[in-house]
Structure 1
Amino acid sequence: MADIREHHDAPRTFDLRGHGLRLRLWDPESEEDVKTWLRGRSDPEFRRWNTPLILERDLADARESLTSHATEVADGTGVPFCVTDEATGAVLGHIGMHVASRTMRFGRVGYWVLPEARGRGVASRALLLATRWAFAELPLHRIELGHALGHGASCRIAERCGYPYEGTQRDAMWEAERHDAFRDCHLHARLSTDPEPSL
């Protein structure tokens, strides 16, 4: 598959700024990015609600995981953004856009925030910024957001950012820390024709 950056309707930029944030690509060659990725994805609160394909336990796991996410840009299946503070450059978290179907212009979004950055509206601001970009640049028409049942914070972020609740998907996510058991998932979605909310 062609590099997303060479595709005829490929995004023009992977450096987004707005709402006090800068979204840039993660760099699997950067020791600091790998360490931050490991810290974010091994955080107990992250693991409570998310079970990644690679359960990162050390820097080698984190590098493998981050590299697999970075290759999404090259194979055209998605874009993993490192969420940073626009003024200081401090890393605050992650937001990833995944292209599920180019034909249907349909994608999915997921995000997490580092412990020290929680409670500051980082996820909401990053979601608004990345959604606007994905509708304009990928260009997607529908973006889905799923979270484990009971994750009230993600539910509130979704609603605040114009992703209304659409239903409950049965056994659509892995249970915490397991790849052999499942749990239900709340489905939210936003369309390119929906009005953009303001924070």
Structure 2
Amino acid sequence: MGTTMPPQTAQDPIDRRAFVRTALDLGDVVLRPWSREDAESEAVLDGLVDAAADPRIALWSPLAAADRSAALAWVQARDKAWDRGASASFAVREAAGGALLGNVALRWVDREDGLAMIGYWTLPAARGRGIATRATRAVTSWGFATADARRIEIAHAVGNEGSCRVADRCGYLPEGTLRDSYRFGDGKYHDEHLHARLATDPEPAEPAGEPAA
């Protein structure tokens, strides 16, 4: 008696578009998924408290991490977001010593459609070294290659020139200005520049001759 096999169906896009916890080694810097281990590190929690108090971060990327308890809750929320598959947040750390340098986060805007958004911030110790650019490029490539992202966007306040430089260096083409788009840390709505990259876009050339970010 023959056996009838069920017809094969294409893999569900939702299944393909999974954020799998991965460490990205950039040599002198390592990107590691925020995890329960970070929640147990007083040095990391103190780094988040310092980040929350930094004027630039407080304005453009405010963190709810005024003390260790709040920083712990912040880390736990990122860890749970990995579990849900909603976003992939990486702690940017020095390879030697593990000092916290920043954060890069890729999140789904429309997972079924393959539309994601990326954001980033760095502590003062990481600025001027090209770390934000390198980390954002690495997570962008990772998102296209492993999570089947189709399009990744960056939206930043028009006044945030550092973020604009990072977007340009990472191959995110400018697509326009969003008026009164987002309320930032000063409590005011700001216009934002929208940039985007497609999975089919070529890798950008290495930046040269510009201030590092």
TM-score normalised to structure 1 length: 0.86
Find the partner of 2:31 among 23, 26, 29. Answer: 23
Contact preservation (8 Å) 2:19, 2:87:
no
Contact preservation (8 Å) 1:95, 1:110:
yes
The change in CA–CA distance for 1:8 and 1:29 in structure 2 (over 3 A counts) is farther
Q: What are the superposed Cα offsets for residues 136-185 of structure 1, whole Å, 9 maximum, x if unpaired?
A: 1112111111111111111111111100111111222113243xx42111
What does residue 3 of structure 1 align with?
Answer: none
Residue 21 of structure 1 aligns with an amino acid whose one-letter code is V
Q: What are the superposed Cα offsets for residues 108-157 of structure 1, whole Å, 9 maximum, x if unpaired?
A: 11111111111000000001110000001112111111111111111111
The change in CA–CA distance for 1:128 and 1:84 in structure 2 (over 3 A counts) is same
What does residue 36 of structure 1 align with?
Answer: 47
Q: Does 1:108 align with 2:105?
A: no
- Percent identity between matched residues is 38
Q: How many residues align?
A: 189
Partner of 2:39: helix, strand, or coil?
coil
Q: Does 1:198 align with 2:209?
A: no
Take 2:174 and 2:201, find their aligned partners in 1: how far apart are those partners?
14
What does residue 193 of structure 2 align with?
Answer: 186
Contact preservation (8 Å) 1:19, 1:129:
no
Q: Return the index of the structure with the highest Cα Rg.
A: 2
Partner of 2:90: helix, strand, or coil?
strand
Take 1:121 and 1:33, find their aligned partners in 2: how far apart are those partners?
21
Aligned-residue Cα RMSD (Å) equals 1.9
What does residue 161 of structure 1 align with?
Answer: 170
Take 1:20 and 1:194, find their aligned partners in 2: how far apart are those partners?
27
Q: Does 1:82 align with 2:75?
A: no
Residue 192 of structure 2 aligns with an amino acid whose one-letter code is C
Take 1:160 and 1:151, find their aligned partners in 2: how far apart are those partners?
15
Take 1:137 and 1:119, find their aligned partners in 2: how far apart are those partners?
29
Residue 65 of structure 1 and its aligned partner are, at CA, apart by 2.0
Unaligned runs of 5+ in 1: 1-6
Take 1:155 and 1:182, find their aligned partners in 2: how far apart are those partners?
18
What does residue 130 of structure 1 align with?
Answer: 139
Unaligned runs of 5+ in 2: 1-14, 207-213
What does residue 14 of structure 1 align with?
Answer: 22
Take 1:45 and 1:29, find their aligned partners in 2: how far apart are those partners?
27
